[in-house]
Each structure stands twice: as structure tokens, then as C-alpha cells.
Structure 1
Amino acid sequence: MNDWQSHWDEAAQYKKLLVYEFYEKNSSLCKAMDKRLEELAKKYKGKAAFWKLDVDNFEILARLCGVEGAYPTFALFKNGEQVGKVVGLKEDELEQRIQRAVY
């Protein structure tokens, strides 16, 4: 099974919120979100899972999630369906979408 396929299958079966961050290794914008993403993962521990996926290694999954070349892009899944997408350094919007999805 392809690595992207296992992540896609996980999104389809995961009952809690699943947040994929698609990033580029050399992007300063992506690196700028690292600390905030760690904080969100701690805050929503047990309610959401967070995955960082290098877009160069997960191109097919990125396309399936509607990622269109701007990074970071966050794709949110719950109960097998994509429930949101946030593009760029929109920390407040990302947290609002996470909060709505977990409660």
C-alpha cells in the first residue's frame, strides 16, 4: 500500500478530528507555523490528531485534499469527510475551525 493511501484511509476511518499540515521543507512560512501547531496539538490532545506531511512526498494526497500550491495548507477531516481547509499563516482561522470541529 502506498504511504499516501494509508493516510487517506486513516482520514476515512478516523472518528475524531484529523488535521493534515501540508508543508514545503524550505518554506519560512511553514516553519513559522511549527510552534503554533505544537501548541494546538497540546491544547486539543485527545480531541484531534495532527500530521505534518511534506508535499513533495505526498503529492497525490495533497491533490485529493484540494491543496493547490500554497503552503502551509491545513486540511481538516472528521468522520471520513473533509470539514475544512486553511491556507497560509492564518493561525486564528485554523484554531476557530479546529474548535468548531471538535465541539
Structure 2
Amino acid sequence: MLTAAQVLAENNFGDTRTGGLAGPMGLFLILVLATATVLLIRNMNARLRRLPDRFPAPGGVDAGRADAGVVDPTDGTARQESRPNAAKRPQQG
């Protein structure tokens, strides 16, 4: 017959030694994530190195010619030159 101490002392959580795969699997996942992170960082650095040092100004000579003949949406007959924020932008030297 079981006493109260034996019932309370019984291991109801199963054998804890059979789950020996959790530690190595966790290490494997950490190594895979670390490797993926290193490869992604190397790829981003390579892409950043290929970018030019400076980009052309967004209101340059070519941009002014490209949208010089925009149709006025209010009446559809008048043509105007479109240069938004041309006066607000500081001149770069």
C-alpha cells in the first residue's frame, strides 16, 4: 500500500534523462541563426560598398527637362513647368 509520502515523492514528470536531444538541438539552432546573421551582414555590406558615393540631386538638369511639359489638371489646355519646392531647396556647392 502506498503512503502519502510515497505518492508525493513519485516522479510524475517522466524520465528526465531521455530528453537528451534538447541541448544539442538548441545549440544547432543557435549556430544556424548566427551563421545566417553573419551571411546577411556580409551581403548587406557588399551591396552598400557598390553604391555610389553621391547620388544626383533630385532637381537636376535632367529632371527639369523630363517634367517640363506637364499638363495642368484644372483645365487641360495650359502647359506649365513643374518644379515643386525649387525655391525652398538650398543650393549645394
Is the structural similarity TM-score above 0.5? no
Higher strand share: 1
Under TM normalisation by the shorter chain, which class is it?
Answer: under 0.3
Query: Which one has the largest radius of gyration?
Result: 2
The TM-score with structure 1 as length reference comes to 0.21
Higher relative contact order (CA 8 A, sep 6+): 1
The TM-score with structure 2 as length reference comes to 0.22
